[in-house]
Each structure stands twice: as C-alpha cells, then as structure tokens.
Chains A and B, each alone.
Chain A
Amino acid sequence: MFRPEANFSPARWQLLHAFRSIRIVGVTLRFSEESLTYRPMNRLLAIIVGTASSLTLCAGTPDVFAFVQKNCVACHNPSVKSGDLDLKTLKSAKTFEENRELWEKVVDKLKTGQMPPPPVPHPDAADTVAVTEWLNAEFDRLDRMVKPEAGRVTARRLNRSEYDNTIRDLLGIDIHPAERFPADTAAFGFDNISDALNLSPALLENYIDAAERSVRTALFGPETLKPSAVHFSAPVRINETRGRGNLPKDLFHYDLSGLSTRHSAHFIYRFPVDAEYNFRLVLNGHRPNQSEPVHPALFIDGKMIKEFEVDATDLEGQIVEVRTRVTAGEHLLSETYLKTYHGLPPSYNGPEPSKRPPEPLISPRGKLTEKDIETLRKYGTKIKTDAIETRVDNRFESLDIGGPFNQTAGPSPESLRKVYVCGHAPGKHKDACARPIITSFAGRAFRRPVTPAEVDQFVRFVSLARKQGDSFEEGIATALQAVLVSPNFLYRIERDQPAPAGSSSAPVSQYELASRLSYFLWSSMPDAELLHAAGQGTLRQPAVLEAQVKRMLRDPKSFALVENFAGQWLQFRNIEVVRPDLERFPQFDDGLRQAMRRETELFLDNVFRQNGSVLEILDANYTFVNERLARFYGIPDVTGPEFRRVAVSKSERGGGVLAQASILTVSSYSTRTSPVLRGKWILENLLNAPPPAPPPGVPPLEQSKAGQSATLRQQMEEHRKNTTCSSCHSRMDPLGFGLENFNAIGAWRTEDGKNPLDVSGSLPDGRSFQTPAELKALLKNGHDRDAYVRGLTEKLMMYALGRGLERYDRPAVTAITDKLASQDYKFSQLVMGIVNSLPFQMRQARQTAQIASTMGERSK
C-alpha cells in the first residue's frame, strides 16, 4: 500500500526543493518510465523529468499540462495512481473532451484547495486561478460545441407517491394503497428515475390488489374493517420537580393547552377509514397533595376533542376515554394536560393556586399508626403517601385506539361523480352508459384520449360480469380494475413523433407535455384544466404555459415538490426513520419530530410557492416554528401549537436549512454529532461535490496517536495528517465542524460535554470562518454559490425528466443557471427554465437515438 504520510517527511521535502533548484539552472535528468517505482526518490525525479520536457506555451494561455506535471504527477502517475488517478497520461487537448469528468474533478480540487494535499506546498495562487479559469472556459467552449439533444426518457412507471396521488385524483379517495408496495429503487438520489423503476412480480401483484381495493372503495365504499386495538406507549419523561424545592419561575409563562409541554405525548397514526374510534388515555405520574384536579385532554391535529377532569394526585393507571369520529388518513394525536402548572398548592408559587385543604397523609414506611388506619378507612383508595406527593410529574402512560366503529359506509359523492359521468342511479343504470363511463375514466387514467378500440376491450368486462349475473356496478368495477392494471396507466409511455426535417428531436405531444408538467410539479396526473389546454393544442403557447406553471405552483398539490423533490434532495424525509437516543436526548419525541419536519416543509413550501430565491435555502432571515419548536430553539414569545413565520436574523442560530433541526438530525448519529457526516451532507447536497468512497486500506483512527480522551476535533485533525484522508477531509471536516454549535438533534450548544466548542474552521482554499453564520456567508457567495445553483438545477432537472443527465444536457443546464443569476435566483424562474428547456419539451427521435447509442458503444 502506498502510504504518502510515510513518504513525505520534511527531509524529503527539502530534498525536493533542492531538486527544483537544479531544474532551474537547466540540468535535465532523464529516467526511463520503467524505472519509476513506488520509492519516493524516483517519484521526485519523475516530476523533474516531466517539467523539463513540457515547454510549449502560447502567450496568454497557461500551460495546463506543465502545471499538472509540476504539481500533480508526483502522485497521480501510472505507477502510483493515487486516488486511482493517473494524470501523467493525459497529455493532449483531446483529453479535455474525452476525460471531461476527470478534468472537472481536477478543477474542483484545485479551486477548493484540496489538492495538492499538505504538506505539499500549494502552487502559486495566480497560476492556479489561471489554470482553473482557462479550463472552465475550455469546458464552456466544448459545451457550446456539443450538439444539444432532447434525450429519450424510458417509459416511466408510477412510483409509490405518484401512484397514491394519481389514485386520489382519479377516484376521489385517499387510501394510500402504495404504502404496502415494496420501496422503489432510487437512482441519483431520487426514486422517480425511470431506468431504476423496475417491476417485480411481487409489485405487479400489489398493483392488481390495489386496483381492486381502490375501485371497490370508490364505487362501493371502503371495506368494512373489524374493530381492533392499536397501542402507543408514551416515552418515559424525566421529573422536572425532582430535587427542587420550587419550580422555576419561568415555567409559569407557558402553553396552557399543554401541547408544547413535556407532560404531553404525541403520536402519528394513519386511520384506515372514516369512522368512530375510541381513544383511551392512560395517565401516569403524580400531582402534589392539595392540588386541584388535573385536566387531561385529547387533541387531534392540534384541535381539542375533549377535556377531562381527574381528581386524583396519584395518576398511575387512571383512565379517561372518548369516542369521536375521525376521517381516514394520517392524523397527529396529542394527549396533554391543560393548565398543567395551574392549581398547584400555594407553596409552589404557581398561577391560580389551589384553594383546597391538604389531604391527610400516611407514612410510607414502617408500621401503620392508629391514625393511618383511621385515614385509610375514611379515604379508601384515595390515600396519599407523603414522599411522592410533592411531584409535578403528571404524564401519560399510553394511548390506545379502538376501532373502527360505525364506519362510514358507502362511496363518497365525489367518487361517484368522478366515475358515473352519466349520473348515478343505483340499480337502474342503463347498459348504454358503460361506454361513456369507460371512455371518460380510461382517458383520465391514461392521461390522453382513448380510442374506440381501447374502450371496446374494457366494455367487454361489463358484459362478462353481467353474463355472470353480477350488477352493472360490478361490471364497471371490473372494467375499471382492468384500466388500472394496464401498462398505459401504470407507465407513462411517450410515443415517438416524427422529427421535423433537419432536427433530431420532436416535441412531445400536448398530452405528454401535460403529464410531464403534472408529475413534475404535483407528482400526480394532470387535472381537467391541463388536459383541456392539451386538447385545445394551446399548452405549448408561451403565455399559456407560463400561466399554467404559475397556477400549478400556487396549487397546494405542488407540496409534492417539497415532499418528493426536496425531501430526497436534502434527505429530510429520513427524519421519519431516525431514532435519536432517548437517554441522551429525552426532549425528542414524535411531537418534536413532527415539528422539525413541519418547519422544513413550511420553509421550503414558502420558497417554492411564494416565489422565493433558491439562495434562501442556504441562509434566510426567517423560519417557521410553533411553541414546541420555539422553546427547543430558544426563540421567545411563541405560544401555541400552530406554526407561524418568525424572524431569525437576530438569533445566533440563524436561518436556512443548515439551522433547521430536521437537517441537523438526519446528518447526525443517534448518539452524537458527526462533522464528517455533516460535511459530507453539505458537499453532496449543497455544493454538488459528492466525495468519493474512501480508498481501500485507509488506516483506521486507532493507529493514530490521538488518545481516547482527545476531543473529536483533535482526533479528526490527527486523521487529516494522513494525506490520503486529507484530500477529501480537508474540505469536508471544517464544513461539519462549523455546525458543531448544533447537537445531534439540532439544539444550540456552546460546549460538547466538558469541552468548550471550537466551531471555527478554514477551508483548504484559504477562506475561514468563526461561526455558523460566517460559514453560511461563505457558502452563498462566489464559486460555492455557483456550484450550489448548478447542483440544484441539475437535480431538479433529473427529477423533472426522470432520467440521469447526459453530456448533451449541459448546454440546457448552463443556459438556465446563467439566466438565473439575473433573475434573483427565483425558484419559479428555475422551474420555468426547466419547463422551457429542450429536454423537457422534446423527445429525441428513435432513429437518431439508436445511431447515437451505437456510436457511443463504438467510442468506448
């Protein structure tokens, strides 16, 4: 194994400099290629050979090859191949095109100062700038010469969220049948890439089942479910009053609903059907002797359903119940104590103290006294013991849901309206109605007009069912199921159009364009208005198109962009599956999890739908919080469970996604923060520079000299002394350390355990920062900003097209990013740029695609 850290001792570097001076005085040493071995001496000499033999320079043009020879080939040559990279063999201008990705990496590494790694001295800054700028200009020149192509998207299978949304819009039911499907395979970080969306027989069976369930739900109402019980355990809470004489005064300015206090418990549950459900709140904990009764309450989605009163101080196992009607779908359930610090004994100095006399107490230990026995007789089970009757640790043990009862039977009027287009008359349908029903339904399901021949095939199922003695409705149900398992529904298949003369691409059809738009912005089928515009043939008119896109972005359905695009791009979807260690982070529960996700969703929704700038995602002066999250963040004067926009410009925490707990939690381990994970998260998702896999045989930290007690930062710095590691970690780690003010669930902190925090850092390109705010200021300017905007554009484009990007897409991406700078980086302009781009509007004709792919094969 090549271990650079062993080779680059200071003595050797002196030697290197000595050799450099030899070159200057014109001595040329020649060695044959074969003599190059792993030994450092020869590598040093190789530099000299290389440098001496490359002297061609045009005035004003930096000699890239000479620069590379001088600064890079010591490690990146055919024998050493550090990082699996050999730059020595790249000698001709042709390589700028043929090895473009490789050269781009070189530029990135030079620009960000990651290469050459310490202790190798950095090349002269002016030289680096000259070389990288020249290369970038060369890339631009090459891109201008690339013939832009539209590309061909393979037939796209609906993924899970697209399937659910489409069924919702098609049938007017919200049953999420795809929740039970196997996960879709993602590619390039997104689960809507057509080539990765395979179909297994298991999934096909799911489709067949889902078709039956969806159609029957829409036409005959949801399946009748037997009542069953669902049990949620509330996590154990710490006791705020333990070891304290008095409750802290600041507690008494608090959320009276209890939704934001730690005595409450929150759960998310998807109710299978509209029905009544029984909610049983099981209490636990205590109230001090002499307290007024407690008031537990049940909230659904932040709305109070019922307030109870329990007159007891030992709450363990106390039960209150309520039955209420709930709509099908996901709801946030909260059990809380109203006015939890009210009505305490006067000695607690809380608001509205109790006016009751204290209850008699019995001694918890030893033999019962005569007095105790008398008390017991008198009060029975309401007896108190003095040791625990001082706590305010009333909490919940669990929430049990029983149901469904009195399930809403029968189909919804909306579903019937969507299907029975010639009116619904149960039992009295005319067979002649089958055709219009199927023509309308299949047209919407296939997202294009259907042919009479197609309709015939589905009408056959109505006849089949009628012949078997089934009703007309059963016949329609069978036909609709057949529509929903057809590949025309499950896939978006785009048909080849003849390309106009002199062009290799043809515009996609109006209907296909409508689908491209709706699955891009809504993750669902086109609505009536889009289909109408497509039918009229007006959708492509610039004014119509722009108006449609604006309308679609304003529509709440565009929340799909937040959930599906941003959720995967920024990976905050993962907040649903992280499990922070409750021992270390007792504040974390489902209520907080929900609040974290909601903040990021509302924030991004605001950027996307209120036409914000995409740079706000990096840093913003506002965010969205409710009381729970505000207390967690230390933002004052926010009361109540509802989210609202607050200014954060004056807080230390700052704004943008890097200050949001959801992002900070998904980029941490469950027990601690990891600057490496966070640095990697920034590089991958914000700076468009995903670090490569660590090379094989990376020496583990164990062998470094840092002791176990060293802080993480010291350990990491030790780690970076290894050149192999430092090439990536020199940029990754400082970015992550810049966020160390946030703990593993995103709470602000100024020390880590016993050690004070040092969140300053310097990037390999020489820029440095002292605080998270300064770090963000670096990210939103200069080449980092450009990399961010380009990365976002590429990702949104892949998401919109459902395919990876190719060389021929570069001009389209460049045109969009160039223009965006002059459009204040507005999100809507980014979307318009993509919608108007060649790859989104057109499809490469089959002939050219085939030729191109054969040529691609040959050139490999």
Chain B
Amino acid sequence: MFLTGKHIDRRTLLKGVGAAIALPLLDAMRPAMAAKLANQARRVAVVYVPNGIVMKDWKPAEVGSEFAFTRILKPLEPFRQDITVLSGLANNAANKAKGGGHAKASGSFLSGTPPKYTAGADVHAGVTFDQLAAKHWGAETRVPSLQIGCEDSRMVGNCDTGSSCAYTNSLSWKDPDTPLPVEVNPRSVFERLFGTVDPSLPAAVRARRAMYRKSILDQTAENTQRLTADLGPADRHKMDEYLTGIREVEVRITSSEKDPVTPPSEKPSGIPFDYAEYVKLMFNLQVIAFQSDLTRVSTMMLGREGSVRTYPEIGVPDPHHPLTHHRGHPDFIEKVTKINCFHAELFAWFVERLKSTPDGDGSLLDHSAILYGGALSDGNAHSNVDLPLVLAGHAGGIRGGRHITSAPNTPVANLFVHLMNSVGLQTERFADSTGQLDLHA
C-alpha cells in the first residue's frame, strides 16, 4: 500500500527515537523518576503472533535449564538466561465458544472468557488481565496502557465466519463490552505518549492553551451531566462512556503537569513501508514509554488474528493465513516456519533493546514481564492447547533460563495470575485459573 509516505530518513528517525533521544529524555525526567524508582516500577507487555506457530520447530524437546533452542526460538538464544519457554498451557475458553477459530482464539486469549458469537454490535467477552494491571496503575502513569497493532485493521465485513472483527483485531478488553482498538500508526502512538502540542511554541502560549483545554473539559463535563438527566437508559450509557473519557483525560493532563516529560524532537511521519522497520519502530516506542514510565502496560499484535499479510522480503509472497491451513503440505509449512522465525527475530530485537536500556538498579528487562506468542498452536487445526509461549524478563523475580511444561490443558490464566503477582498486583484467581504457575522458584 502506498497511501502512507515513507520518511526518507527513517533510519535517522529510528535511531533518534531509540538511542539518540533516550538520553535527553532520561535527563529531563531524572527528578521525577528517582522518586518512582524507589519502589521499582514493573512493566508487563504481550506481543502477539497471529495464526499459530509451527510447533515442531518451536517447542524444545528438553525440559528444564538444559533445553536446546529450536529453529524458531533460535534468535532468542543470546538471551537464554532472560527467557522462560512455557509449554502445555491451554486457552480452554476458546473451546467453549462458538464462532470462527481465529476470533475465538484472540477474542478470549487474555481474558479467559469465551467471546459471544456475533458479528453485530453486541460484542461481549471479558476484561483482560493487562487491563486489570492498567487499572491498578492508572493514576500513576500518564497513559494507562498502550494497544498497538502492526497491520491496518480497516478490513470491513465480519472478520471470521460470523464473528465480529473486534475479536480478531483487538487483544485488550477494558471491560466485557469494550474491546480497545489498536493504534496502527506510530505517529498516533507517539502523540498518545507525548500529546500533540507543538513544542516549538513559546512556553507561555503552550501554558495558556493547556489552561483553555482544561477549562473546556471542565465545562463540557458539567454540561454533559446536565444533558444526561433527561435521556433514556441507552443514551445515558453513551454519555457515561463519554464522561469517563473526559475524566481520564483530565487525570492525564494533571499528571503530566506534575511530571512534565520533554517529548523527543521528532515524530514518526507515518507507517513505514518495510514491515521490519514498522515493527521495530513500534517496539521502540514501547521501550521509550516504559523507560520514561509513561505507561507500564502494553499489548501489541504483530498482525491481526487471521492476518493475510504477505512477507515477500523473506521469500514468502503468499498470504499468511491460508498458508497456515497447510493440510500437511511441507512447502506451506516451511513458509509458515519462515514467518514464525522472522517474527521471533524481531522480538529478539525488542528483548535486546529492553536489556540494554538501564532502569533503576538494572535494565528494563529486569523489571519487565514480556509475554510472546499466540492463542493458537497449530493454525491448521485452530488448536487452543499447548500454546506457543515464551516469557522474557525478570519482573518480581522471574528466574528465566528454563523450559517449563505444565500438565496438559492447564489454563493459561494460571500464567496470568502469576504475571499479575510478579508485577505487584496481588491476585489469587483470574478467569478460569485453577492456581498459579510459579516461575520464581
């Protein structure tokens, strides 16, 4: 697609957004961060792979610390001590739902709740674990959470045999009725983190405009409340949603007044044409957001579930989804494996960035729990068991360096319970959990 132009000096920009800009940003923030670091902020993120993974080339044969890296996991080998490969976990909720195999998988993955079968307005699933974390820290960071996608989701029609696009295009659900749409434009992610105010304006003008903005929001909230009084229940619900939005924005403005962050001087211009650059730019924005403690929670989809992206740059000109229905054909399987490897390489790049970014007494990776993988194992059969998952980071004392298998059909929610505890959110149960995985021991 040529709709979005490429910035000619993307490379400079990439460097700029990452390394070059990281330093001044950190300096500007030091006083604010020092206080926060006292009780070390922890981050949690999910990086989602659509359409399943070729399991024979993913799952290590050995269990424990002496496992050999498989072909797909190979790019993560330099980080052996920082990752935990997880096998045996299942997304049982998907099996309880009706609808397309892809919609059921991504629509239930992080909530452990079967999504309602509908292509209509009445989408319904469950609140996702990342959003519980976002709610927990909501007041402490400027942005409660980021939802990022690396595939334009403007496809229309129902997305998977009668299931709403909301299930395949979103990963995070704020509440059971509210899927959070992904931002696919790096520029929008940037503006969400740093706002749209023109940094070149004199400080006094910026301050005045910010004050007007606040005043507009106050007045609007007041008027809306009055308006709500004589509306029917459905309309009132819409206005409540609007008011909640206003309040969240007000909180953000207040918190950014307390803790001003100097935005990097250059914004990404749009969506890079090259997929690897696109993904890396999105990873970089998350590194910056974590590093500056603008948010502690993010979820990212490398493609929408059911993605038909082609990867000609790695010799796969065929669309991803139909390839995964390979019916055992070795050529197709090989191509899917190539895509799986490509994604893993990009993820390794992210892990490297997190590991090389200092944070408090260690690195960002030390204080993060980054889950990588998908809600389908074998894409050909839409299988929801023995999910391909790997966890990077040591948040809260996650040990790493191991391949851990759970008993067959252990709910993946057990992992989420552990993740929430690891990042400081005391939790005993979540969705269909039957206990919690212990990755500290």
Interface residues of A (CB under 8 A from B): 84, 152, 154-155, 157, 180, 182-183, 185-189, 191, 193-196, 198-206, 208-209, 212-213, 223, 228-233, 267-270, 400-401, 457, 460-461, 464-465, 468, 470, 478, 481-482, 485-488, 490-491, 493, 495-496, 567-568, 571, 573-574, 576-577, 579, 581-584, 590, 669-671, 674, 684, 690-694, 700-702, 708, 803-804, 846, 849-850
Can you give 22 contacting A-B residue pairs, CB < 8 Å? Answer: A152-B234, A154-B235, A155-B239, A182-B183, A185-B164, A187-B121, A187-B123, A194-B121, A195-B122, A199-B241, A200-B174, A209-B196, A230-B7, A232-B2, A461-B219, A493-B227, A493-B235, A568-B156, A693-B163, A700-B380, A702-B328, A804-B121
* Residue from the list A400, A481, A571, A694 in contact with B161, Cβ < 8 A: A694
Q: Are B223 and A457 in contact (CB under 8 A)?
A: yes
Q: In chain B, residues 364-394, which have Cβ atoms closer than 8 Å to a Cβ of chain A? A: 380-381
> Could you say which residues of chain A place their CB within 8 Å of the CB of B220?
482, 485-487
**How far apart sit A12 and B249, CA to CA, in the bound complex (Å)?**
69
B interface residues, tally (CB under 8 Å): 93
> Could you say which residues of chain A place their CB within 8 Å of the CB of B98?
84, 693
Q: In chain B, residues 210-261, which have Cβ atoms closer than 8 Å to a Cβ of chain A? A: 211-213, 215-217, 219-220, 223-224, 227, 230-235, 237-239, 241-242, 244-246, 248-249, 252
Name A's interface SS: mixed
The closest CB in chain B to the CB of A567 belongs to B156
**How far apart sit A563 and B182, CA to CA, in the bound complex (Å)?**
24
Q: Are B155 and A574 in contact (CB under 8 A)?
A: yes
> Could you say which residues of chain B place their CB within 8 Å of the CB of A228?
7-8, 269
* Residue from the list A186, A482, A671 in contact with B156, Cβ < 8 A: A186
Q: Are A461 and B2 in contact (CB under 8 A)?
A: no
**How far apart sit A568 and B165, CA to CA, in the bound complex (Å)?**
13
Q: Are A700 and B325 in contact (CB under 8 A)?
A: yes
> Could you say which residues of chain A place their CB within 8 Å of the CB of B312?
581-583
**How far apart sit A202 and B190, CA to CA, in the bound complex (Å)?**
12
**How far apart sit A195 and B179, CA to CA, in the bound complex (Å)?**
13
Q: Which of B53-61, B315-323, B410-418 contacts A (4 or more CB under 8 A)?
A: B315-323
Smallest CB–CB gap between A498 and chain B, Å? 13
* Residue from the list A231, A481, A485, A701 in contact with B327, Cβ < 8 A: A701
Smallest CB–CB gap between A66 and chain B, Å? 31
> Could you say which residues of chain B place their CB within 8 Å of the CB of A461?
212, 215-216, 219
Of residues B160, B216, B312, B317, which shows the largest number of chain A Cβ atoms within 10 Å of its Cβ? B216
Smallest CB–CB gap between B121 and chain A, Å? 4
The closest CB in chain B to the CB of A594 belongs to B2
Of residues B230, B235, B317, which shows the largest number of chain A Cβ atoms within 10 Å of its Cβ? B235
Judge whether B64 is part of the interface by a CB distance below 8 angstroms.
Answer: no
Smallest CB–CB gap between A586 and chain B, Å? 12
Judge whether B35 is part of the interface by a CB distance below 8 angstroms.
Answer: no
Of residues B117, B158, B163, B212, which shows the largest number of chain A Cβ atoms within 10 Å of its Cβ? B212
> Could you say which residues of chain A place their CB within 8 Å of the CB of B239?
155, 487
Judge whether B114 is part of the interface by a CB distance below 8 angstroms.
Answer: no
Judge whether B180 is part of the interface by a CB distance below 8 angstroms.
Answer: yes
> Could you say which residues of chain A place their CB within 8 Å of the CB of B155?
574, 577
**How far apart sit A175 and B219, CA to CA, in the bound complex (Å)?**
27
Smallest CB–CB gap between A679 and chain B, Å? 13
Smallest CB–CB gap between B384 and chain A, Å? 11
Known: A204-B249, A482-B216, A700-B381. A231 touches B8 (CB 8 A): yes
Q: Are A670 and B156 in contact (CB under 8 A)?
A: no
The closest CB in chain A to the CB of B216 belongs to A482
Q: Are A189 and B157 in contact (CB under 8 A)?
A: yes
* Residue from the list A154, A182, A193 in contact with B182, Cβ < 8 A: A182
Known: A155-B239, A202-B183, A568-B157. A690 touches B162 (CB 8 A): yes
**How far apart sit A838 and B329, CA to CA, in the bound complex (Å)?**
56
Judge whether B1 is part of the interface by a CB distance below 8 angstroms.
Answer: yes
Q: Are A488 and B227 in contact (CB under 8 A)?
A: yes
* Residue from the list B1, B157, B244, B309 in contact with A576, Cβ < 8 A: B1
Q: Are B319 and A269 in contact (CB under 8 A)?
A: no
Known: A189-B156, A669-B322, A671-B318. A468 touches B8 (CB 8 A): no
Judge whether B38 is part of the interface by a CB distance below 8 angstroms.
Answer: no
Known: A187-B119, A478-B216, A700-B327. A268 touches B2 (CB 8 A): yes
Judge whether B206 is part of the interface by a CB distance below 8 angstroms.
Answer: no
New A-B pairs, 9, CB < 8 Å, besides A269-B5, A485-B220, A846-B232: A180-B185, A180-B187, A189-B156, A193-B121, A202-B192, A269-B3, A457-B219, A574-B154, A590-B2
The closest CB in chain B to the CB of A490 belongs to B242
**How far apart sit A201 and B143, CA to CA, in the bound complex (Å)?**
10
Known: A154-B234, A200-B180, A669-B308. A576 touches B154 (CB 8 A): yes
**How far apart sit A674 and B322, CA to CA, in the bound complex (Å)?**
10
Judge whether B198 is part of the interface by a CB distance below 8 angstroms.
Answer: yes
* Residue from the list B156, B164, B208, B325 in contact with A470, Cβ < 8 A: B208
The closest CB in chain B to the CB of A804 belongs to B120
* Residue from the list A198, A203, A581, A804 in contact with B310, Cβ < 8 A: A581
Known: A154-B234, A486-B223. A571 touches B156 (CB 8 A): yes
Judge whether B405 is part of the interface by a CB distance below 8 angstroms.
Answer: no
Q: Are A204 and B5 in contact (CB under 8 A)?
A: no
Judge whether B99 is part of the interface by a CB distance below 8 angstroms.
Answer: yes
Known: A229-B8, A671-B319. A577 touches B121 (CB 8 A): no
Judge whether B357 is part of the interface by a CB distance below 8 angstroms.
Answer: no
Judge whether B44 is part of the interface by a CB distance below 8 angstroms.
Answer: no
Judge whether B152 is part of the interface by a CB distance below 8 angstroms.
Answer: yes
Q: In chain B, residues 148-202, which have Cβ atoms closer than 8 Å to a Cβ of chain A? A: 152-158, 160-166, 169, 174, 178-183, 185, 187-188, 191-192, 196, 198
Q: Are B317 and A230 in contact (CB under 8 A)?
A: no
Judge whether B9 is part of the interface by a CB distance below 8 angstroms.
Answer: yes
Judge whether B36 is part of the interface by a CB distance below 8 angstroms.
Answer: no
Smallest CB–CB gap between A364 and chain B, Å? 31
Known: A670-B308, A693-B162. A230 touches B215 (CB 8 A): no
Judge whether B6 is part of the interface by a CB distance below 8 angstroms.
Answer: yes
> Could you say which residues of chain B place their CB within 8 Å of the CB of A212?
196, 209, 213
Q: Are B208 and A230 in contact (CB under 8 A)?
A: no
Q: Are A205 and B249 in contact (CB under 8 A)?
A: yes
**How far apart sit A579 and B8, CA to CA, in the bound complex (Å)?**
23
Smallest CB–CB gap between B363 and chain A, Å? 29
Judge whether B50 is part of the interface by a CB distance below 8 angstroms.
Answer: no
Q: Are B174 and A209 in contact (CB under 8 A)?
A: no
Q: Are A576 and B248 in contact (CB under 8 A)?
A: no
Smallest CB–CB gap between A177 and chain B, Å? 11
> Could you say which residues of chain B place their CB within 8 Å of the CB of A568?
156-157
The closest CB in chain A to the CB of B189 belongs to A202
Query: Scoring B residues 276 to 307 as 1 if CB is less than 8 Å from chain A, else 0, what string do you get?
Result: 00000000000000000000000000000000
Q: Are B319 and A670 in contact (CB under 8 A)?
A: yes
Judge whether B100 is part of the interface by a CB distance below 8 angstroms.
Answer: yes
> Could you say which residues of chain A place their CB within 8 Å of the CB of B8?
228-231, 400
Smallest CB–CB gap between A262 and chain B, Å? 17
**How far apart sit A487 and B227, CA to CA, in the bound complex (Å)?**
9
The closest CB in chain B to the CB of A180 belongs to B188
Known: A232-B5, A579-B310. A849 touches B121 (CB 8 A): no
Q: Are A465 and B212 in contact (CB under 8 A)?
A: yes
* Residue from the list B7, B121, B123, B212 in contact with A229, Cβ < 8 A: B7
**How far apart sit A100 and B277, CA to CA, in the bound complex (Å)?**
53
Of residues B98, B152, B196, which shows the largest number of chain A Cβ atoms within 10 Å of its Cβ? B196
**How far apart sit A172 and B208, CA to CA, in the bound complex (Å)?**
27
> Could you say which residues of chain A place their CB within 8 Å of the CB of B380?
700
Smallest CB–CB gap between B235 and chain A, Å? 5
Smallest CB–CB gap between B344 and chain A, Å? 23
Q: Are B319 and A574 in contact (CB under 8 A)?
A: no
Smallest CB–CB gap between B275 and chain A, Å? 11
Smallest CB–CB gap between B382 and chain A, Å? 9
Q: Are A670 and B318 in contact (CB under 8 A)?
A: yes
Smallest CB–CB gap between A14 and chain B, Å? 34
Of residues B153, B156, B180, which shows the largest number of chain A Cβ atoms within 10 Å of its Cβ? B156
Known: A186-B165, A231-B5, A464-B215. A201 touches B157 (CB 8 A): no
